[in-house]
Amino acid sequence: MPSAHGYLLNMLTLGIEEEYLLLAAATGLPVARAAQVREAARLQPWLERGEVQRELLQAQVEVATPICRELEEAGGHLLRMRLALGEAARQAGCRLAACGAAPFTDRLPVPITDTARYRVMHSDTRLLTDQQLITGMHVHLGIPDRGAGVAVINGLRPWLPLLIALAANSPLWQNTDTGFASWRTIVFGRWPVSGPPPVFDGADDYDRRTRELVEGGLIRDIGQVYWHIRLSEHFPTVEIRAMDVQLRPDEAVMLAGIVRALAVRALGDAEAGHGIPPVEQEVLAAAVWHGARHGCTSTVFDPLSGRLSNACDAVAALLDHIDPVIEESADRRHIVPVLERLLRDGNGAARQLRRLRAAGRSALVSMIIEQTTGA
């Protein structure tokens, strides 16, 4: 008979969205070829209708996996879509790049995608919109109801700094080493309702507080709630949006597996009436900034101790925390070995900087392109 954790793991479906940049192969500069790439993708037999989507800027595209029950299934879809979309990008004269921020840019901004929503956003926030040459990965978890979704939000909040540190893959920005492992986190944090969410007292509290933001005219619509974790307004899912897009598809699967395992643990703890004590908002915001700054090269925030800890020790505590969820699951082999390799070889940010310093700009661009499609 499966354990309670195993039952929840089987019940929580997941889907992964990934955003990519389109780069010139020779220079690594963003190129406005999204329309041509989407048209070439339409003719790719390995891509289904609706899997490739528009993004804010014309040098970006997005994919979304189908609803999955197993990590292996999600990983298969990601690899399939990356390979097919990579071929579509080559046919359109550019390359697909899974890096969290455009490492190199020229003087002119990339045009926005011409939709009514994006035109309004650009009118409201011109420079901020122009600077959204950043790409993330979003994990959607199927939930039985919005109350369960709020329990997941509250339970995952303390783990956001560690997730951001592990996923950091955007150290370069406008031809400069930013000194941050995840510059994307800093750029995206400029929006008015962004960063780690507060603690909510149930679904009604979540709905009231987000509704007041819109009704008070502080944001245009509910879609501009950009917290690192939020409830979907269209589907029975909770969306975790804190992480940079990953260089390698197996790292994206690993992170999605950790997120789902943490959600299962949070739901089980909430049902049992216990869990990790809430982290104060100012502490969490500072810990997220610290994770974005240092990635895995220094200390990270460990929510179980409530303080900064060596990255390896914090990951060991994480694995102990989710072990009851994954110990009898196939998810374990998609999480533990990949996580161990990431700690040994460095996350995407560390590997980008290492390649740039060792071999220069063209070698970095080649590495990003090759690892994006699993080559």
Per residue in 235-262, pLDDT tens? 999 999 999 999 999 999 999 999 999 9
Q: Which pLDDT value is given to residue 33?
A: 98
Tokens for 307, please give them.
């303080």
Domain for residue 83, yes or no? yes
Which stretches of the chain are DSSP H helices?
A: 4-11, 34-42, 71-91, 116-124, 126-130, 146-156, 160-167, 183-188, 203-215, 249-272, 281-294, 311-326, 331-345, 348-359, 361-372
Per residue in 137-188, pLDDT tens? 999 999 999 999 999 999 999 999 999 999 999 999 999 999 999 999 999 9
Q: Distance between CA atoms of 165 and 149, rounded to whole angstroms? A: 24
Residues in the chain predicted with pLDDT less than 70, given as ranges, are 1-8, 375
Instruction: Give the C-alpha distances (Å, rounded to integers) separating 40 from 238, 370, 372.
Output: 32, 20, 18
Domain for residue 370, yes or no? no
Q: Which residue type sits at 297?
A: T
How many domains, in total, are found in the chain? 1
Q: Which CATH number goes with the domain that contains 303?
A: 3.30.590.20
Q: Distance between CA atoms of 231 and 139, rounded to whole angstroms? A: 12
Tokens for 241, please give them.
């949006």
Q: Which pLDDT value is given to residue 5?
A: 67
Domain for residue 207, yes or no? yes
Domain for residue 371, yes or no? no
Query: What range does the domain containing 351 cover?
Result: 4-365
Q: Which pLDDT value is given to residue 374?
A: 73
Q: Which pLDDT value is given to residue 179?
A: 98
Instruction: Give the C-alpha distances (Å, rounded to integers) separating 329 from 12, 123, 258, 301, 325.
Output: 13, 49, 12, 27, 8
Angle at 104 between CA 102 and CA 109, to 5 degrees: 75
Domain for residue 374, yes or no? no
Q: Distance between CA atoms of 215 and 109, rounded to whole angstroms? A: 33
Domain for residue 38, yes or no? yes
Q: Distance between CA atoms of 177 and 60, rounded to whole angstroms? A: 22
Q: Which pLDDT value is given to residue 375?
A: 54
Q: Which pLDDT value is given to residue 6?
A: 61
Domain for residue 145, yes or no? yes
Query: CB–CB of 219/213 below 8 Å?
Result: yes
Distance between first and last Cα of the chain? 40
Q: Which pLDDT value is given to residue 3?
A: 58
Domain for residue 144, yes or no? yes
